[in-house]
Amino acid sequence: MATPTVRRLQLGNELRHARQAAGLELTDAAKILDCAPTKISRLELGQSGITKGDLLLLLNEYGDTEEHKQWMVELARTRSTRGRWGGYRAVFPEWFRMYVDLETDASDMRQVQSELVPGILQTEAYIRALATSSPRADGGDVDASVQARQERQAIFTRSNPPTASFILSESCLRRQIGTRAVMKDQIRYLEEMALMENIHLQVMPFDAQTYAGAISYDFTLLTIPSPGATADLEFVYVESFDDARYLDDKEVVSAYVSLWSRLQAAALGPKESLDLLGSVAKQYS
């Protein structure tokens, strides 16, 4: 079963699809529940939950099938998440927790990184070195940071792993985090991950001649499969120092997909990227 965050998003997506299939506007749906249109909008955006009674009231008016209504009711049963972000997971800032849920349920992820190795590809030693040098560093949180990040990495070895593609600037390999030994082990680990069937890794070299400037825009594209009648959920995740944006507007997503394609074409191929990884690892010896 999907994470609570993704279930709300999927439910909202299905509700919007059912309303539009019935030829109704937000204001029409609001009249059914005797509420403001903003409430319907929040439901369809996955920003709030819905009672079983209200859900069935809407679906009945939409002329939904019994089979789909039963599935929607099950989807709406968001189990309690008390304690979900406690313990070592408390190291995740609130604005990042939605990303963790989306990442957990994603079938495909594509990430561009310009300065640091992506968190989901970091070794324990690299995580520790990074955590102790961070502006947010708190010595008591290092172990928790390691455990939380390693839990995220487990998606690559589960029974149904996502397809994951990464484009890393050569800066990610050259910027020394921790000791030279830490960097050597980190890059050797990247080599191992790049050989996995579901992972594709490319490097944007310093001397790239085309579209290299766009590597400065860090972003992640996430696709979450929909089990219902609607299209898959697609998000662009863009992070800043103390906040993040989750973009799902179709035109915006399309623009980032286009940017990804250009960067992928400008980066080294998988084999050439592996050769560069090996070369840099030797330089850290």
pLDDT 10s digits, 1-43: 578 888 888 888 889 989 999 999 999 999 999 999 999 999 9
SS3 percent helix, strand, coil of the chain, rounded to 5, is 55, 15, 30
Output DSSP code: residue 215.
G
Residue 106 predicted with pLDDT over 60: yes
Whole-angstrom distance, CA of residue 188 vs CA of residue 163:
21
What pTM does this model have?
0.85
The average pLDDT across 150-161 equals 93
Number of domains the chain contains: 2
One domain, residues 176 and 237: yes
- What percent of the chain shows pLDDT beyond 70? 95
One domain, residues 238 and 107: yes
One domain, residues 99 and 238: yes
Give the contacts of 232 (CB within 8 A, at least 6 positions apart): 107, 223, 224, 225, 226
Indicate whether 228 belongs to any domain.
yes
One domain, residues 251 and 211: yes
- CATH code at position 177: 3.30.870
Amino acid in the structure at residue 185: D
Residue 249 belongs to what domain range? 93-118+155-283
Give the contacts of 70 (CB within 8 A, at least 6 positions apart): none
Residue 159 to residues 162, 189, 198, 227, Cα–Cα distance (Å): 10, 21, 12, 18
One domain, residues 50 and 16: yes
Residue 78 predicted with pLDDT over 80: no
- Using alpha carbons only, how large is the chain's radius of gyration in Å? 22
One domain, residues 165 and 271: yes
One domain, residues 188 and 269: yes
